[in-house]
Chains A and B, each alone.
Chain A
Amino acid sequence: MTVILQAKNIEKYYGNKNNLTRALAGISFDIEAGEYVGVMGASGSGKTTLLNCVSTIDTVTAGHILIGGRDITEMRAETLAAFRRKALGFIFQDFNLLDTLTAYENIALALTILKTPPGEIDRRVLEMADILGIVGILPQYPYQMSGGQKQRVAGARAMITNPTLILADEPTGALDSKSARTLLESLQRLVRERGATILMVTHDAFSASYCDRIMFIQDGKLFYQLVRGSDNRKLFFDKIIEVISLLGGDSHDVA
């Protein structure tokens, strides 16, 4: 299996000399192509910081991050933007869809900024919408959609460019359990059917149980890893709950 993401001892400090916060305290890990990796940890443990650094929205203080073999910590600003739109896909907790655009247009936007030939766009949008089960809502505006539908549209937008890596920060955070389940199943299909690689920060064990591997973070350090292996989802879920209670957190919500 090829390694898609390689984090080498990354550190991140916030603040100034007098008031320093160490959000990431030297984390190293690899993610392979086609893996569905979850990140869990208590609130303030550094999950969002980690995701922001990986997603090139923020910069690391020390260490290196290689995505698809390229070191993003040494790229210049313009290269980063280009890298971001070509190699990465994003799903945010609060959807971040453009309210002025329809679902179709929101998805297509990811392609138009890549200067994809217009003839190709239509086909690819429909294909992706089919996988995520949102063909029916393509002509609708975000304000006409439910939270789950919005998040699947965001997923489609993240996936349509065939990115090397999809980054999701608590994508189920704003969803009810039924919508969350639909979204998680859709993401799983993306991994299984299209070979997508996903790095997902999540706050609940249920969402995490869809992943292939969970990384637990505490105080900016990698604290524990849980690999699903051949377990079914129910069994994996129980193991996750076990680790969370070990961590001393609330079994339902660790974020």
Chain B
Amino acid sequence: MMSPSLALRNVKKSLRDYGVYFLTLTFGVCIFYIFNSLESQQIVMELTSRQAAALRTLDKMMGIFSVFISCILGFLIIYANRFLIRRRQKEFGIYMILGMGKWQISRILVLETVLVGAISLFTGLLLGVFLSQGMAMVTAKLMGAAIGRLRFVFSPAALRSTIFCFGLTFILVLIFNVGMIQRQKLIDLIYADRKNEGFKVPRLTLSVALFLLSLLCLGAAYAIMLLFGLPMANVILLAAVALGTVGTFLFFFSLSGFFLRLLRQNKGLYLKNLNMFVLRQINSKINTAYVSMTFVCLMLFLSICALSSGVGLAGALAGETRRNAPFDASLTVQAPPAGIDPARVALEKGVDLDAFAKEYLTLQYYDVGVKIPLNTGEHAVEAPIYFLKLSDYNALLSRQGLPPLVLGPEEYAISSNLPKEWPAAVRDYMAGDSGLTINGVQLRTSPARLEESPLVTSAYWAFELTGIARDQSLTAADLPVIKSALHINYPQAGEPYETLCLNALSSLELTAANGSRLNPSLETKARVLEGSNSTTTTVAYLAIYLGIIFLLASATVLSIAQLSETSDNIRRYGLLRQIGTDEKMINGALFAQILIYFGVPLFLALIHSLVGLKVGNDLIRLVGDKDIWSSGLFAAAVILLIYGGYFLATYWSSKNMLKKE
């Protein structure tokens, strides 16, 4: 039979028509594979058993989530397919006139669907496997795992579930297509492009009024968000979301009419080239397009927010790792007044520290009985300040590979690694420092700089400050020791030392000078990272995953809407050509039209996002003090790639459609 070659020829011929369909499939498959291949990425990481468990949980979460995602992708693929089929109804009608039976046509269609499906599945998987290599590095960094030997990451499980999900979607598409052909009547197929819908023009005054109303709604929504910030009461949040949605809807509903009026005032612009035509084009379709525009704008907004927050969260996390876990293990104990040396106690009790410690360091914190007032404007506290000896502090710095601190005899330094706005409050205090007295000696903060190196491995922020003074200032007096800390670094990162250390130190009994039992707290780097990181990594990945899917969805919907419109527009563009319009001018008009359709929702979504991210930023900063804005850059790159890709594909497809007629 001729149908296999005919199918191949059809696909080749309409490769540009298939462009958007193909993009959606390929991107969908690629993203789906990447996020389902997390577990197999561990072969390039050196994970503790707990980290491995966390990665499994993450993988499972993604798996569950992927069911939802595959529904969205399936819907998009069927939507894009429906457009393709509708566009080719006339072609099928001609096959029928030529005497081809419905089953024969169905066979061609099935072959085409399978062909395009197979090509995009293959391309998407190839892209996915390639990108998942880089993804493994990122995952390792976020999970706080060491990167081991570089190896090729491939996940048969992800491959299977990708093929399963998309195979299922293809079968649905096939059933849909065949069903459509079987139901068709020849007469409908042949006159498929003869339908001419009525055409209405919105009243200009109404447009202007609605446009102003939409601005009012959006302004109110923005004001609420900025004024109250997150978290806010549900009712208020709901009101803001409702206002924002209604405002967006009205904005697109009235936009073209408003701009038409504005631009028509400017004859020089309006009567230039095909401007008038483009504007009227948009004006004529906006009646039906505003719903999809609103949808696309809101989806884009969600996508930008999800992407930036996801990446922001991941970035904050990566920064945090360094900040909160300077040592492989830290044991701290409050033991006033004389303090305690945990290392000495451990050795006395027969613990072999050298078995798991390459090096260890004991620090004593002296209580000088001073509290420092801090004011962030929002919060005011009296933070206690405990002192470290300069020699101890410098030992600590040198362990982290940092240069030593130098202090004069009447100087002290303040160290703090509190998050967010607190360092500024400490600096404020230092700027107006009136000095403090230790044992009758007046000390002043000397380096105006705030010491920010982390002092201890801990999952929590301690709301206290640490002072550093020369050894004599502290030892000369008989100052009470409020806290002792033992910091340990393993010979190398990994499971065996972690287990040894936990076994030896978690059961270590410490007693105070007065004989009472003390309550030491033991934290290891691995635990700190796992505790916060696996949940945050999950949230971050989910956000990025969702963000990309939203982006795909909005771009696909917009693109398909545009392409369907172009097929309606073939007559109009043909007429322009008949009266002798320059090909360049026609392409320019088409480009402008599609650019406006893609650009305007993006523009409004960006403005929404500025507000959304400003609010979200405050939320992210609760986790870490990394700014969300820098991650906006990443979001922008992803959007440029995907959204821009769809824009170009739409333009080329449209141009091709116009050329063919």
- Interface residues of A, Cβ cutoff 8 Å to B: 57, 78, 81-86, 88, 90, 96, 98-101, 105, 108-113, 115, 118-119, 121-122, 141, 143, 157
Number of interface residues of B (CB under 8 A): 28
A118 touches B199 (CB 8 A): no
B201 touches A113 (CB 8 A): no
Q: In the assembly, what is the distance between CA of A240 and CA of B526, in Å? A: 102
A100-B281, A118-B268, A122-B267 in contact; A85/B581 too (CB < 8 A)? yes
Which of A57, A112, A118, A141 is most buried by chain B, counting CB atoms within 10 A of its CB?
A: A112
Which of A100, A108, A112 is most buried by chain B, counting CB atoms within 10 A of its CB?
A: A100
A85 touches B281 (CB 8 A): no
A100 touches B284 (CB 8 A): yes
A98 touches B271 (CB 8 A): no
- Interface residues of B, Cβ cutoff 8 Å to A: 198-199, 201, 267-268, 270-277, 280-281, 283-284, 572, 575-583, 585
Chain A residues whose CB sits within 8 angstroms of the CB of B268 once the complex forms: 118
A109 touches B583 (CB 8 A): no
B274 touches A81 (CB 8 A): no
Task: Point out the residue from A85, A98, A122, A141 that lies within 8 Å of B277, measured CB to CB.
Answer: A98
Q: In the assembly, what is the distance between CA of A112 and CA of B581, in Å? A: 10
- 6 inter-chain pairs at a CB distance below 8 angstroms, sorted by A residue, are A85-B579, A88-B580, A112-B272, A113-B274, A113-B585, A118-B268
Closest chain B CB from A76 CB (angstroms): 12
Chain B residues whose CB sits within 8 angstroms of the CB of A90 once the complex forms: 578-579
Chain A residues whose CB sits within 8 angstroms of the CB of B271 once the complex forms: 108, 111-112, 118, 121
B276 touches A108 (CB 8 A): yes
A105 touches B272 (CB 8 A): no
A105-B276, A112-B271, A121-B271 in contact; A96/B580 too (CB < 8 A)? no
Chain A residues whose CB sits within 8 angstroms of the CB of B275 once the complex forms: 112
Closest chain B CB from A40 CB (angstroms): 24
Chain A residues whose CB sits within 8 angstroms of the CB of B272 once the complex forms: 112, 115, 118
Q: In the assembly, what is the distance between CA of A82 and CA of B583, in Å? A: 10
Closest chain A CB from B562 CB (angstroms): 16
A113 touches B281 (CB 8 A): no
Other than A98-B572, A100-B572, A119-B267, give 13 A-B pairs with Cβ distance below 8 A: A81-B581, A81-B583, A85-B581, A90-B578, A98-B575, A100-B283, A105-B276, A105-B280, A109-B579, A113-B580, A115-B273, A118-B272, A121-B271
Chain B residues whose CB sits within 8 angstroms of the CB of A113 once the complex forms: 273-274, 576, 579-582, 585
A112-B274, A118-B272, A121-B271 in contact; A143/B199 too (CB < 8 A)? yes
B583 touches A96 (CB 8 A): no
Chain A residues whose CB sits within 8 angstroms of the CB of B578 once the complex forms: 57, 84, 90, 96
Q: In the assembly, what is the distance between CA of A170 and CA of B576, in Å? A: 20
Chain B residues whose CB sits within 8 angstroms of the CB of A143 once the complex forms: 198-199
A112 touches B273 (CB 8 A): yes
Q: In the assembly, what is the distance between CA of A127 and CA of B511, in Å? A: 107
Chain A residues whose CB sits within 8 angstroms of the CB of B576 once the complex forms: 98, 109, 113
B580 touches A100 (CB 8 A): no
B276 touches A99 (CB 8 A): no
Chain B residues whose CB sits within 8 angstroms of the CB of A101 once the complex forms: 276-277, 280
Closest chain A CB from B310 CB (angstroms): 42
B579 touches A86 (CB 8 A): no
A141 touches B273 (CB 8 A): no
Which of A81, A110, A111, A141 is most buried by chain B, counting CB atoms within 10 A of its CB?
A: A81
B199 touches A100 (CB 8 A): yes
- Nearest 10 A-B pairs (CB), nearest first? A85-B580, A84-B580, A118-B271, A100-B280, A100-B284, A118-B267, A113-B581, A118-B268, A121-B271, A96-B575
Q: Which residue of A lies closest to B584 (CB)?
A: A78
Q: Which residue of B lies closest to A115 (CB)?
A: B273
A98-B575, A122-B267 in contact; A141/B580 too (CB < 8 A)? no
Q: Which residue of B lies closest to A111 (CB)?
A: B271
Chain B residues whose CB sits within 8 angstroms of the CB of A115 once the complex forms: 272-273
A100-B199, A100-B281, A143-B199 in contact; A112/B276 too (CB < 8 A)? yes
Closest chain A CB from B450 CB (angstroms): 64
Closest chain A CB from B575 CB (angstroms): 5
B579 touches A84 (CB 8 A): yes
Closest chain A CB from B202 CB (angstroms): 13
Chain B residues whose CB sits within 8 angstroms of the CB of A118 once the complex forms: 267-268, 270-272
Q: In the assembly, what is the distance between CA of A83 and CA of B579, in Å? A: 10
Chain A residues whose CB sits within 8 angstroms of the CB of B267 once the complex forms: 118-119, 121-122
Q: In the assembly, what is the distance between CA of A141 and CA of B577, in Å? A: 21
A110 touches B276 (CB 8 A): no
B280 touches A83 (CB 8 A): no
Chain A residues whose CB sits within 8 angstroms of the CB of B280 once the complex forms: 98, 100-101, 105
Task: Point out the residue from B199, B201, B276, B284 that lies within 8 Å of A109, measured CB to CB.
Answer: B276
Which of B198, B277, B572, B580 is most buried by chain A, counting CB atoms within 10 A of its CB?
A: B580
Chain B residues whose CB sits within 8 angstroms of the CB of A119 once the complex forms: 267
Q: Which residue of B lies closest to A157 (CB)?
A: B579
Closest chain B CB from A161 CB (angstroms): 9
Chain B residues whose CB sits within 8 angstroms of the CB of A88 once the complex forms: 580
Q: In the assembly, what is the distance between CA of A226 and CA of B575, in Å? A: 33
B582 touches A99 (CB 8 A): no
Q: Which residue of B lies closest to A142 (CB)?
A: B199
Closest chain B CB from A177 CB (angstroms): 26
A81 touches B277 (CB 8 A): no
Q: In the assembly, what is the distance between CA of A5 and CA of B393, in Å? A: 100
Closest chain B CB from A24 CB (angstroms): 20
Q: In the assembly, what is the distance between CA of A90 and CA of B433, in Å? A: 88
Q: Which residue of A lies closest to B575 (CB)?
A: A96
Closest chain B CB from A93 CB (angstroms): 13
